[in-house]
Structure 1
Amino acid sequence: MAKLPRLAVTLGEPAGIGPELAVRLAHSDIAADLVLIGDADLLAATATHLGEPIDLTAYDPGTTLSARGRGAARLLDQRLAAPATPGRVDAGNGRAVLATLARAADGCLSGEFDAVMTLPVHKGVINDAGIAFSGHTEFFADRSGSAVLMLLVAGDLRVALATTHLPLRSVPDAISPPRLAARLRLLHAGLRRDFGIAAPRIAVLGLNPHAGEGGHLGREELEIIAPTLARLREEGLDLDGPLSADTAFVPERRARYDAYFAMYHDQGLPVLKALGFGGGVNVSLGLPFVRTSVDHGVALDIAGTGRAEAGSTLAAAQLALAIAARRQP
């Protein structure tokens, strides 16, 4: 029998809903060799609390699997510095959380894992531990030495970001021709390679209201965005814009495009999450390995209650496997 693709899963913030979602993923019928990277005691306690026993075996990279039983997974044990309590974060565990990400990234880079799916971390906790951290996307980009683009996917709706986790007042200075060109090339190439879209059509949003209103509401569209799009069209990219963001996502227009390119985090993602929350997936385009994540945060308010919904987790795992299969030679 063919071996199962090996999917690394990092548990994220130990006080959040990540451990519960990992247990639920193990109880799904997803056809993967699941390698959970996290604390053994935390997973065992979470499974017991949920009443969903999990069959964990120690991870041996030299052993491959051709089948996986429901409720079974392999464990790459990464111990926490302090016991985790649902809903109560502890900065003392910040370095342990980062260690799971580093192990997953290094395993993907070496070919040990076919893909990684990350469960949500708490950025503040990691920063409180004395480590500058702005997000998974940036961490994996630095770890692999790659230029990376954040793409959110919910069904047929795909939204990529020119800038990610920046204060709003910093965004205009970050909208430069080199940044836009590099990220739009990443989006075009990623849609072709990872989604099988031969000739992607991309809608590019303006930065300002009404895409600058001909320069009366800002000149970034005239001086930066439009000239950059014109140069990229000469390279063969099919780009429409800059478009006014307030009408770009109406149903008739959504049907025209394979993806949207938003200038900042809260320009495009509220639309995607309103339309597809609970089933959305975060994809890191441009990495030398496959990485997906859920479309939500750590949900400290419901951690430990058993109410965490696993829809986005399952969608992220399935998309990671689909992209990994598409990348196979």
Structure 2
Amino acid sequence: MRILVLGGTAWLGGEIVRAALARGHDVTCMARGERPAPDGAMLVSADREDPQSYSALDGVFDAAIDVTMIPAHAHGAVTALRDRVDRWSLVSTCSVYAQDDVPGQDESAALLPAWDGPFETEKYGECKVACEQAVLAAYGAAAHISRPGLITGPGDHSDRTGYWPLRFAHPSTDDGAVLVPDTPGATVQLIDARDLATWHVESVERGTGGVFNATTEPIALADYLAAAREVAGHTGELVGVDQDWLSAHDVQPWAGERSLPLWLPQLKYAGFAARSPAAARAAGLTTRPLADSIRDTLAWELQTSPGRDRRAGLSPADERDLIAAARAGS
């Protein structure tokens, strides 16, 4: 097959390109050209802000795979290429859903309103809804859309899924203690970027159409932490604190500065990491063991300067102070 990857030079896009190349396909990447394409792929440098940029592409394609979150880019691409691309695959997100507090919901759950305007970070979910709508309107049954939750694996520069294995491998305290959220009922759903990439390529090969929650079955956050701890060989104390304590001490959920990644307040987000992946599984999605993803993510973290400033998690100094406060009962 001749496959066009819109992007293809960053993390997930690069994994899609490598998966397609490994399966013997002819791959063209269209990106701004700030990074090289993976070896074996052709790079067409173009800025999707320019509606004429698609004229730089040569010939026709069996399929396109897009990772954009910008509605104008999604609409512009399908408009310009509808007659030159047979099938279209979009990486969307489970953040498109309007309700996050009900576990077990499938793809029929209500969506946020589509965003009709320039991309805004605060409107990420709404922007992805607009991207989905553009693809579905242009391609119908020939459209394949995934809605992953949190993506993990080597290369996760969001620092959310690398935080825990790295912290367990290198605790901030002399006695090896690690601060963890004590949140019974909390779940996580992770998919390795390499598995998501392979499934997108396999789906365009098979002609799979539809919209899918592309993730694993939910597991307890405590079980994820136990797996990360085992992979890292951690034997120190776990200092557990509940979500009220974390909020009172200005520890943020999920991501960002002074946060504990993967933790979410349960009343509001009980269903965010507990969506049904049954349809994607039936459509051929397979995923590697969680421990393998954790191990590979930790290896990547250790190779990419573990002391760097991070986008998510607690700094060692913050964690030491918080552990001292928790032990003091304050």
In the superposition, the TM-score normalised over structure 1's length comes to 0.32
In the superposition, the TM-score normalised over structure 2's length comes to 0.32
Relative contact order, CA 8 A, sep 6+: which one is greater?
1
